[in-house]
Amino acid sequence: DSGVTQTPKHLITATGQRVTLRCSPRSGDLSVYWYQQSLDQGLQFLIQYYNGEERAKGNILERFSAQQFPDLHSELNLSSLELGDSALYFCASSPRDTFRHSSNTGELFFGEGSRLTVL
């Protein structure tokens, strides 16, 4: 058990709809990362928040948005869903901010993922 909680575990919806994925980081972790894993692909970085502020953006579509709340949980909002958005969405947390920190070896703690199916 990594200590990172993601809900829902599974979600099936239709094209054009909007969904919200939720993540609670490990106790004490200030950074939350969102990743997308499509079939047989590596993890694509979407966005990172640190202590409520957006810290870095990866390949996140404009239809997607995220936020981190004062209690440090985070939500990923996916709108105008398309078939190609079907994927596993992982949340990860870390106590640190940037990977440039000299002692930050890049270890992230991942949740079990939310599997989104768009029909």
Name the site residues for another protein (rule: CB under 8 A).
2, 4, 33, 40-45, 48, 55-56, 58, 90, 92, 98-100, 104-113
CB 108 within 8 A of CB 94: yes
Minimum Å gap between C-beta 53 and another protein is 12
Minimum Å gap between C-beta 46 and another protein is 11
Minimum Å gap between C-beta 4 and another protein is 7
Closest to another protein by CB, 9 or 18: 9
Closest to another protein by CB, 51 or 80: 51
C-alpha span between 9 and 72 (Å, rounded): 20
Minimum Å gap between C-beta 80 and another protein is 26
CB 19 within 8 A of CB 81: yes
Amino acid sitting at position 55: R
Closest to another protein by CB, 18 or 101: 101
Closest to another protein by CB, 24 or 111: 111
